[in-house]
Amino acid sequence: MAVTSQQDNELAMLFGKGDGTFQTQMNYTVGNFPSSVTSGDFNNDDKLDLATANRGDNTISVRLGKGDGTFQTQMNYTVGNSPSSVISGDFNNDDKLDLATANSNDNTVSVLLGKGDGTFQTQLDYTVGISPSSVISGDFNSDDKLDLATADSIDNTISVLLGKGDGTFQTQMNYTVGNSPHCVISGDFNSDDKLDLATANSNDNTVSVLLGKGDGTFQIQMNYAVDSYPFSVISGDFDNDSKLDLATANLIDNTVSVLLGKGNGAFVPQMNYAVGRYPSSVISGDFNNDNKLELATANQLDNTVSVLLGKGDGTFQTQTIYTVGRYPSSVTSGDFNNDDKLDLATANQLDNTVSVLLGKGDGTFQTQTNYTVGNSPSSVISGDFNNDNKLDLATANRGDNTVSVLLGKGDGTFQTQLDYTVGNFPSSVISGDFNNDSKLDLATANGGDNTVSVLLGKGDGTFQTQMNYGVGRDPQCYNGKEKESIGRPADSKEKEIVK
């Protein structure tokens, strides 16, 4: 597991023991105010690397993994203004992971195409909605080309940019959701083989669900009540009934809300679990190898990660807490040292680092190791950006408008970051093959200029210069799957909140 610490400008890594617990954190310096962290094999060495989004210096910090749970020195890449989220993906189909950040202060997404060696090309910026805080990729129109979507918190929309398959994107299309969406995901919530959408809406304490019609359009949203100020939402089958469920991280109440799915697009009322202070990010994974999904949150105010082991029936055990860097704003998991045990990584905004915690395979994690990334990383993802079969990391750095790429060594460590410029205030980053060259590309959601920045990957771990595309206001976090279809804007009329 990886968690970012905004106050210490560090990324904390907690390595999983395989039973749901983690080893002590290892801290790595990254950029200024890291707000998000992700992992991936950015240099194709079969070792996970890390990347953080650094809000404070507008960079992404990339640390290449060594395969033993430690990472090389960071490489910083300039992105847009205040990147709050970072993701990885092969955006130009070159089999090389690319990076993308959501930049909150210039309302852009920055895309950095990976070269396959752990380095990235210069950012490409795309305009999105006002203040994008997160970005996601997926094939939304079923043309086998990765598309981008951002959650725009100020104008309460989702911005969708359809990919052309060469690493560039069409003009945005916007969809209305709830009040102040900070994160959006996709999944087949009604079992019709058509991707649906869900957002976490902070200002009305709801989750909005929009069922997909399969033709690129969506039905009117249905809202479900959760705890106070949901900031992140994920989906997973928490009760092993083959139906997707939802979970949100709630900042004000310091809880996780779990909504079990009925399989028809509807959800049962929330169940809440206590976690650390100010949880801003939640993920799921099988941390103790019992075939039951667990939950993990990045807790900003106490600089920790909370791990809740799943019972397999939709309920969870009491949290176990691990220390990471300062002000962790994003957490991701992956096998960074190739031992078949899930590890953790966080993007730490206040010390500009990524923290890596190697998993023991029993549900516990080792002490963190920290890697430096860009300024104020707000989002982190993983991917194989240099095609070495080793996971790399990429962060969206709000502070310097960059994406940082850290190529993994395959032993759990990472190389020094490479930074790529993206749009203004990138809050989220994703990866995908946007130009069908079998190389992962990057995209960021940039809140400062309402754009998405796309950086085409070169397949060697480096990326081309950003291309920017306009989207809606304040694009936020979006976590999606393939075969999504988004066309004309959905009806903005809201249905009543489901309580």
pLDDT (tens digit per residue) in 215-249: 777 788 899 999 999 999 999 999 999 999 999 99
Tell which residue, 469, 329, 371, has the closest CA to residue 29. Answer: 371
Indicate whether 480 belongs to any domain: no
Stretch 398-406: mean pLDDT = 88
Asked if 391 and 433 sit in the same domain, the reply is: yes
Asked if 457 and 313 sit in the same domain, the reply is: no
- CATH classification of the domain holding 372: 2.130.10.10
As given in the structure block, the two tokens for residue 119 are 């380095």
Asked if 373 and 433 sit in the same domain, the reply is: no
Tell which residue, 374, 316, 322, 378, has the closest CA to residue 35. Answer: 378
- Residue 312 gets which letter from DSSP? S
Helices first, then strands: H and E counts in the chain: 0, 43
Indicate whether 3 belongs to any domain: no
Tell me the range of 100-109, 372-381, 400-409 where mean pLDDT is highest: 400-409
Asked if 350 and 227 sit in the same domain, the reply is: no
Asked if 305 and 386 sit in the same domain, the reply is: no
Asked if 332 and 342 sit in the same domain, the reply is: no
Q: What is the domain range of residue 376?
A: 26-336+358-381
Asked if 244 and 318 sit in the same domain, the reply is: yes
Stretch 24-39: mean pLDDT = 71
Indicate whether 488 belongs to any domain: no
Indicate whether 11 belongs to any domain: no
Stretch 39-58: mean pLDDT = 85
pLDDT value at position 498?
36
Tell me the range of 76-80, 90-94, 238-242, 460-464 where mean pLDDT is highest: 238-242
Asked if 416 and 312 sit in the same domain, the reply is: no
Indicate whether 316 belongs to any domain: yes
How many folded domains does the chain comprise? 2
> Does residue 27 surpass a pLDDT of 80?
no
Stretch 447-467: mean pLDDT = 85
pLDDT value at position 484?
30
pLDDT value at position 477?
47
Q: Tell me the per-residue pLDDT of 252-285, one tens digit each, with 9 for 90 and over.
A: 999 999 999 999 999 999 999 999 999 999 999 9
Its pTM stands at 0.68
Q: Sort 166 into a burial class: Cβ within 10 Å, 0-12 / 13-18 / 19+.
A: middle
Alpha-carbon gap, residue 148 to 91, rounded angstroms:
9
Asked if 373 and 394 sit in the same domain, the reply is: no
Asked if 317 and 347 sit in the same domain, the reply is: no
Asked if 364 and 421 sit in the same domain, the reply is: no
Q: Tell me the per-residue pLDDT of 319-347, one tens digit each, with 9 for 90 and over.
A: 999 999 999 988 999 998 889 999 999 98
Indicate whether 10 belongs to any domain: no
**486 against 393, higher pLDDT:** 393
Indicate whether 490 belongs to any domain: no
Indicate whether 97 belongs to any domain: yes
Asked if 204 and 221 sit in the same domain, the reply is: yes
